[in-house]
């Protein structure tokens, strides 16, 4: 008698096994996510407290230094010339410079801590999807950058951009960071040129910001999107988190972010956002009108 394979039962068992594995992995990811949230919360609290204390102690030391200078002034005529010079250097230059360094480092660390916390929390910010007029949004961002663009003498070309189905505030941050980088890393040796273009594809919408700036060297490429990293010379102010923010926000939308660059020629940052079914449907209706 011929035997018939019991495919249905085996197939169901396989599906049950896969579903169990998926549920297990989902639970593990949720647990890791919650642990990360708690870690970031503790990091923010436990590090901010000593930073605030350091700032307070710096202020106290500065006031104490002023009191010392006032108290010692009557004794200066009775000191030898070398002692007076040494005291003047210590109280007038070295001590204030040391306090200023501590104050600056504390402020910088506080700024970086805030940036790391904001980056970690981006994964939990609720996105409000809507059809975003990218022409209007890019125009607003460029208007905010206009003083810097004029200072650099750069020419900016904004081509018609297709709308995006996304969170408007998030896209504003994406465009602001990418356009600010394009302006900040222009090459002073030649007239700056920046171009913003976009194209709607079948399943995703592509946006590109091109510049003819310094470009990114091969050895710097791996760290472009890493937090607290900067490609090339560290001569541009900022917290060095912008591209990490951009990457996190694009990923939250289910999109992609990448770049192409050549030293001395320029860089193009591109990001693609998925076209949701309702957005594609509305586009098709408009095209048929």
- For residue 30, being part of any structural domain is answered with no
Q: How far apart are CA 35 and CA 141, in angstroms?
A: 36
Structural domain count, the chain: 2
Least confident of 36-50, 64-78, 120-134, 262-276: 36-50
Decide if pLDDT at 255 tops 90.
yes
Q: Answer yes or no: do 168 and 268 share one domain.
A: yes
Residue 228 belongs to domain with CATH number: 3.30.565.10
The pLDDT-based confidence of 69 (bands split at 50, 70, 90) is confident
238 secondary structure, DSSP code: S
Residue 252: which region, alpha, beta or left (left: phi > 0; alpha: psi -120 to 50)?
alpha
User: Helix or strand or coil: residue 88?
Assistant: helix
SS3 content of the chain, % helix, strand, coil (to 5): 60, 15, 20
pLDDT of residue 44: 67
In a shared domain, residues 102 and 178 = no
When mean pLDDT is compared across 46-60, 163-177, 186-200, 256-270, the lowest value belongs to 46-60
Give residue 107's pLDDT band: very low, low, confident or very high (50, 70, 90): confident
Element (H, E) at 47: helix 7-72
**Contact criterion met (CB below 8 Å) for 210 and 197:** yes
In a domain, 215, yes or no: yes
Contact 193, 218 (CB under 8 A): no
Q: Are both 203 and 168 inside the same structural domain?
A: yes
Q: Indicate whether 75 and 141 sit together in one domain.
A: no
Q: Place 130 in a pLDDT band, splitting at 50, 70 and 90.
A: very high
* Residue 240 pLDDT: 58
Residue 135 lies in a domain: yes
d(CA 234, CA 240): 10
Kindly state the average pLDDT of the residues 262-286: 72
Does residue 151 share a domain with residue 118? no
* Residues 103 and 241 both lie in one domain: no
User: pLDDT-based confidence at 279, cuts 50/70/90?
Assistant: very low
Residue 26 counted as domain residue = no
**CB contact at 8 A, 102 and 54:** yes
Per-residue confidence band for 29, with pLDDT thresholds at 50, 70 and 90: low
Q: Does residue 181 sit in the same domain as residue 89?
A: no
Among candidate residues 61, 92, 124, the one where a domain is terminated: 124
Which of 88, 103, 124 lies at the terminal end of a domain, its last residue?
A: 124
Confidence of residue 89 (pLDDT cuts 50, 70, 90): confident
pTM for this one?
0.62
**Mean pLDDT, rounded, of the chain:** 80
Note whether residue 66 is domain-resident. Answer: yes
Res. 142 pLDDT band, cuts 50 70 90: very high
Same domain, 101 and 133: no
What is the pLDDT, as a whole number, of residue 1? 45
Q: What is the pLDDT of residues 152-194, one digit of tens each?
A: 899 999 999 999 999 998 999 899 999 999 999 999 889 999 9
Shared domain check, 120 and 179: no
Task: Tell whether 117 and 207 lie within a shared domain.
Answer: no
Q: Are 196 and 202 in contact (CB under 8 A)?
A: no
In a domain, 243, yes or no: yes
- For residues 124-130, give the mean pLDDT: 80
The answer to whether residue 251 is domain-embedded is yes
Q: Cβ(62)–Cβ(95) under 8 Å?
A: no
Count CB neighbours of 138 within 10 A: 23
The residue ranking higher by pLDDT, 112 or 245, is: 245
Task: Count Cβ atoms within 10 A of the Cβ of residue 137 and give its class: 0-12 exposed, 13-18 middle, 19 or more buried.
Answer: buried
Q: Residue 281 — very low, low, confident or very high, per pLDDT cuts 50/70/90?
A: very low
pLDDT on residue 51: 79
Domain that holds residue 229: 129-286
pLDDT at 276 over 80: no
Do 149 and 114 lie in a common domain? no
Residues 116 and 135 in one domain: no
Q: Is 55 exposed, middle or buried (0-12, 13-18, 19+ CB in 10 A)?
A: middle
196 — alpha (psi -120 to 50), left (phi > 0) or beta?
beta
Where is the domain boundary, 124, 152, 170? 124
Query: Could you tell me if residue 2 is inside a domain?
Result: no
């Amino acid at each position: 008698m011929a035997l018939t394979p019991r495919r249905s039962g085996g197939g169901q068992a396989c599906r049950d096994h896969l579903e169990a594995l998926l549920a297990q992995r989902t639970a593990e990811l949720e647990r890791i996510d919650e642990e990360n949230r708690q870690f970031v919360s503790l990091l923010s609290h436990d590090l901010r407290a000593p930073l605030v204390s350091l700032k307070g102690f710096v202020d106290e030391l500065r006031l104490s230094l002023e009191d010392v200078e006032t108290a010692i002034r009557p004794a200066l005529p009775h000191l030898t010339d070398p002692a007076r010079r040494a005291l003047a250097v210590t109280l007038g230059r070295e001590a204030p410079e040391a306090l200023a360094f501590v104050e600056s480092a504390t402020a910088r660390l506080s700024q970086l801590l805030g940036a790391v916390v904001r980056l970690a929390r981006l994964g939990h910010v609720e996105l409000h999807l809507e059809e975003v007029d990218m022409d209007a949004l890019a125009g607003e961002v460029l208007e905010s950058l206009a003083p810097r663009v004029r200072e650099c003498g750069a020419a900016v070309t904004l081509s018609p951009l297709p709308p995006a189905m996304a969170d408007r505030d998030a896209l504003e941050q994406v465009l602001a960071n990418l356009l600010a980088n394009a302006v900040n890393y222009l090459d002073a040796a030649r007239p700056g040129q920046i171009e913003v273009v976009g194209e709607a594809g079948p399943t995703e919408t592509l946006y590109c910001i091109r510049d003819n700036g310094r470009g990114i060297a091969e050895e710097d490429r791996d760290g472009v999107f890493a937090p607290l990293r900067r490609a090339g010379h560290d001569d541009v102010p900022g917290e060095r988190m912008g591209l990490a923010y951009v990457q996190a926000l694009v990923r939250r939308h289910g999109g992609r972010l990448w770049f192409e660059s050549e030293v001395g020629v320029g860089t193009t940052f591109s990001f693609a956002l998925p076209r949701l079914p309702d957005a594609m449907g509305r586009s098709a209706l408009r095209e048929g009108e």
